[in-house]
Amino acid sequence: MTFVPQDNCLYRFISGLDDDMVLDVSQNPQSMNSIILYKWNNGPNQKFAFRSVGNNRYAIFCSKNNMTVEVPEGKNNDGAQIVCSQPNKKENEFW
């Protein structure tokens, strides 16, 4: 079975390690907009919308700030950081 997200519905990404932990766009000034694991609190920084960009690819937007989940500078290596940033309609924000 393949997951097919609905455009602009809100989703949360729940950790397989702990049902209370989800992906979260950090609000800490030291790591602002980094993607972290955090306890679910129903915050808008823990909810994401998918928008189709064609060819079975999606941009993922944070509902708090409408920024996209992306790989900065298009780095394609193990350990690359994932952040939320201003939408740029480039491949580094397509999933």
Residue type, 70: E
- Residue 47, domain extent: 10-93
Tens-digit pLDDT string for the chain (95 aa): 788 898 879 999 999 999 999 999 999 998 899 999 999 999 999 999 999 999 999 999 999 999 999 999 888 889 889 999 999 999 999 99
Position 77 in a domain = yes
pLDDT for the residue numbered 1: 73
Number of domains in the chain: 1
Position 41 in a domain = yes
Task: State in Å, rounded, how far the first CA of the chain is from the last one.
Answer: 18
Tell me the CATH number at 41.
Answer: 2.80.10.50
- The pTM is what? 0.89
